[in-house]
Structure 1
Amino acid sequence: MAVDSESTFRIQARANANATDKGHDTPPRPERGPGTLAGEYVLKSMLAAGGHGSVYEAEHRILGRHAAVKVLHSHLADQGEMLQRFVREARVVNQIHHPNIVDVYDFGLMPDGSPYYVMELLSGRTLSQVVQERGRLSASRALAYLEPICGALEAAHRAGVVHRDLKSSNILVVEEGEKPRLKLLDFGIAKLIQQEPGQEGLTTAGQRLGTAHAMAPEQFRGGSIGPPTDVYALGVLLYQLLIGRYPFQSDDRLELERMHLEAPPPRPSVKAPVSPAVDAVVLRCLDKDATRRYPSVNAFLTALREATEEPNQVESQTRLVLAVNAEVVLPATDMDDDTTYAALANVMDTLEQGLRAESFTLALQTGTALLGVRPLAAGTTPAQALQPLRELQAEAQRLAEAVHARVHLCLHHGEAETRGDSGEAEVVGGPVTHVATWNVRDPGGFAITRPASRFLEGPPQQ
Structure 2
Amino acid sequence: MYAAERLDGGGAVALKLMHPELSASPEAVARFEREVAATRRVRHPGVVEVYEQGRLADGRPWFTMERLEGVSLKEHLERRGRLPLREVLEILGPLCGALSAAHALSIVHRDVKPSNVFLVRAGGPAAEADAAAHRVVLLDFGVAKLLDLEGAGLTSSRHVIGSLSCMAPEQILGKAVDARTDVYALGVLVYQMLVGEMPFSGRTALALQQMHLYTAPRSPSLVAPLDPALNTPILRALAKEAAARQPSAGAFFAELVAAGVSRVGAQRRALAVLVEVHADEGALDEPDDGLLDDLEAVLPASAGALGRVGLRPSLETGTSVLLSAARPDDAALDVQLRAGVVEALAALWGRLAARPGRDARVHVRICLHAGVAEISAEGEMTGGDLMKLSSWVPEPGTEGVLASDAAVEGLRAGAAGAAGAVGEVEEVGEVGAVQGVRWLLLAPGQR
TM class by smaller structure = 0.5 to 0.7
Paired residues of 1:74 and 1:113 also in contact (CA < 8 A): no
Q: Give, in whole Å, the separation in 1 of the partners of 2:10 and 2:261.
A: 46
Match of 1:211 in 2: 163
Aligned to 2:135: 181
- The TM-score, its normalising length taken from structure 2, stands at 0.63
Q: Determine the C-alpha separation between the residues in 2 that align with 1:275 and 1:347.
A: 16
Gaps of at least 5 residues in structure 2 are: 122-126, 267-271, 276-301, 307-334, 346-366, 376-385, 414-436, 438-442
Q: Is 1:378 the counterpart of 2:375 in the alignment?
A: no
Query: Could you say which residue in structure 2 is the equivalent of 1:191?
Result: 145
For residues 311 and 326 of structure 1, do their structure 2 counterparts lie closer, same or farther at Cα, with a shift above 3 Å needed?
closer
Q: Which amino acid aligns with 1:377?
A: S
**Is residue 154 of structure 2 the alignment partner of residue 227 of structure 1?**
no
Structure 1: how far apart are the matches of 2:400 and 2:188? 40
**Equivalent position of 2:210 in the other structure:** 258
* Partner in structure 2 of residue 270 of structure 1: 222
Cα deviation for residue 321 of structure 1 reads 7.2
Q: CA deviation at 1:64?
A: 3.9
Gap change, CA 1:386 and 1:193, over 3 Å in 2: same
1:296-354 CA-to-partner distances (Å, cap 9, x unmatched) read 1111111111112257648xxxxx972355859xxxxxxxxxxxxxxxxx998744257
Aligned mate of 2:22, from 66, 69, 76: 76
In 1, the alpha carbon distance for the partners of 2:336 and 2:187 equals 29
Between the aligned residues of both structures, percent identity stands at 37
Which residues in structure 2 correspond to 1:341-420 (within 5 Å)?
350-353=339-342, 358-359=368-369, 375=387, 376-378=389-391, 380-383=394-397, 386-388=400-402
* SS of match in other structure, 1:81: helix
Contact kept in structure 2, 1:127 and 1:169, CA below 8 Å: yes
Call closer, same or farther: CA 1:446–1:211 in 2, change over 3 Å: farther
Task: Give the SS at the match of 2:103.
Answer: helix
**In 2 relative to 1, CA 71–326 (structure 1 residues): closer, same or farther, beyond 3 Å?**
closer
* Residue equivalent to 1:155: 101
8 A Cα contact 2:399 2:444, kept in partner: no
Mapped to 1, the partners of 2:208 and 2:89 lie a distance apart of: 27
Between the aligned partners of 1:272 and 1:293, the Cα distance in structure 2 is 23
* Aligned partners of 2:213 and 2:240 also within 8 Å: yes
2:5 paired residue number? 59
Alpha-carbon distance, 1:384 to partner: 5.5
Aligned residue number for residue 98 of structure 1: 44
Cα drift, residue 278 of structure 1: 1.0
Aligned with 1:116: secondary structure? strand
Amino acid at match of 1:98: H
Cα deviation for residue 174 of structure 1 reads: 0.6
Q: Distance in 2 between matches of 1:73 and 1:299?
A: 39
1:195 and 1:127, CA in 2 relative to 1: closer, same or farther beyond 3 A? same
Describe the shift of the 1:447–1:173 C-alpha distance in structure 2 as closer, same or farther (beyond 3 A): farther
Report how many aligned residue pairs link the two structures: 314
Give the secondary-structure state (helix, strand or coil) at the position aligned to 1:131: helix
Structure 1, unmatched stretches of 5+, are 1-54, 315-319, 329-345, 364-373, 397-422, 424-444, 449-462
**Amino acid in structure 1 at the alignment position of 2:146:** L
C-alpha separation in 2, matches of 1:78 and 1:272? 47
The letter for the 1-side match of 2:9 is L
Residue-by-residue CA offset, 1:141-188 (whole Å, 9 max, x unaligned): 111111110000000000110000000111111134463311100111
**Aligned partners of 1:303 and 1:69: how far apart in 2?**
38
The answer to whether the 8 A contact 1:157-1:227 is kept is yes
Query: How far is 1:194 from its partner?
Result: 2.3
Q: Give the alignment partner of residue 61 of structure 2, picking from 115, 129, 133.
A: 115
CA RMSD of aligned residues (A): 3.6
SS in structure 1 of the partner of residue 402 of structure 2: helix
Q: Which residue of 2 aligns with 1:145?
A: 91
Which has the higher relative contact order, 1 or 2, with Cα contacts under 8 A spaced 6 or more apart?
2
Aligned to 2:236: 284
1:158-169 mapped onto 2 (5 Å cutoff): 158-169=104-115
Query: Residues 31-42 of structure 1: matches in 2 within 5 Å?
Result: none
1:306–1:245 CA distance, 2 compared to 1 (3 A): same
Q: How big is the shift at 1:132?
A: 1.1
Q: Quick one: structure 1 residues 307 and 384, their matched pair in 2 at CA, closer, same or farther if it must change by over 3 Å?
A: farther
Letter in 2 for 1:99: P
| Cα separation, 1, equivalents of 2:160 and 2:37 | 22
The answer to whether the 8 A contact 1:144-1:178 is kept is yes
Q: C-alpha separation between the residues in 2 aligned to 1:296 and 1:347?
A: 31
Change in CA separation of 1:383 and 1:206 when aligned onto 2, cut-off 3 Å: farther
Cα separation, 2, equivalents of 1:385 and 1:230: 53
Contact residue 91 and residue 131 of structure 2 kept, 8 A: no
Closer, same or farther in 2 for the Cα pair 1:268/1:61, shift >3 Å?
same
CA offsets, 1:364-410, max 9 Å, x none? xxxxxxxxxx6423362234673536xx9xx99xxxxxxxxxxxxxx
Equivalent of residue 297 in structure 1, options 249, 265, 277: 249
